[in-house]
Structures are given as C-alpha cells and as structure tokens.
Structure 1
C-alpha cells in the first residue's frame, strides 16, 4: 500500500500509518514523499516497523535522503513525484548521498523490485 506522505499529512497521520503497519505486519506500507516535513519521525518509525517503507520524492533536505538511505537501505525507494518533481534532480540527490554499488542500486530500483517480487 502506498500512501501520500506530504502536506496535508501531519505527524499524527504518520504515527497512525506506522500503527497500522504494525497492526498488519504482512502488508507493506510505503509512505511517499519521505513524509514531507515529518521525515525525521517517519525514519524513526520505519526503523521500528519492518513493513514500513519510505519513498524519497520531493524531499527538500538532502540530509533527509542521506539519513533515510543510511538507516533503511533496504526499505527506501527512489521517486521523483513527476510532473511536480524533477526526476533528474531526484536521481542526482540519491547519487550524491550514496556511493556506486549495492545500496545505490537497491534504492534506485532494487528495493521496489524485491518488494514487488520482480527481483
């Protein structure tokens, strides 16, 4: 399940999503847009909730993308939010905060392929 993560999503909404994910551990739940302004909370909750994943589009702080990938290298997904976001900028951000190799490859498609049973 993918849910909208940016405004008007609130911190309480992010907590509710994490609670739902915990209640249904067999259902993967993806919070898009790195939960907007609530990215620190989303990363914290995702660390504790194994079926909670984060999509990285429209993150407005490069450090947020770096931290999400560092903390959740197998549960973060590249996204651009096109046409509102720019796919080149989003990809460049991921490439800027990762080294070439497995983690970058996972974030740029491998994690999603695995979740969807394609990889």
Structure 2
C-alpha cells in the first residue's frame, strides 16, 4: 500500500483555518475553559482530534500555546464578572474559580501578565 502524499501547503492552510474556526466556535459555545483541570488531551477529545493536531491549530491558527490560549478565555470571563454589578459581592477567589482558575495566585499572576493590572484594580476602573 502506498503512503499518503503530504497535503500541499494551501490545503494545509485551508485545513488549519477550518480547524481554527471550529476550535474558536467550540470555545465560545461549550466554554471548556471553565473546567480548571482542562488539558490539551481533553480538549482534543471534545473536538474529536488528536493532541498534536490541536496543538498545531492553537499555535499556528491562534498564535498562542495551549496555556496562554486557555488563560485568555479565563481572564476574559473573570474580567466580565468583575465588571458586572451582579457579581460585585463575589470575592476575587470566587471569580477566579468560576472563571476556571484553580487558585487565586495563578489567577492574579495570569491576569496581571495578560492585562497589566491586578484583578482587584478592575473594579476601580469604573
């Protein structure tokens, strides 16, 4: 049996684009990032693909590594809650946990890295 020919570059680009759209749609609809223990393997299983392809989609299609990709969604979720008056009574830890972080220290570090301010400073911006 003859080995499959590698896809030409334009075909790979088209497949990568298709998978990037599929991934972003899944992130928006299913919100898998809310699970603190989410792994690349679990996300790949949800999308019915393998980890090496999903990693390539995230790296090339989204321009980030897996952790930065997931943490951006978590920070967006936390930021929305911090700005929403409905969540004003929540502690920073509660916001962190509901956004998918598994500790307050990770939440603070990642939030500061991605936004340049601490989570506690968000409320003061308004």
Kindly name which structure, 1 or 2, has the bigger radius of gyration based on alpha carbons: 2
| Common fold: TM-score over 0.5 | no
What is the TM-score when the length of structure 1 is the normalising length?
0.30
Structure with a larger share of its residues in helix? 2
What is the TM-score when the length of structure 2 is the normalising length?
0.29
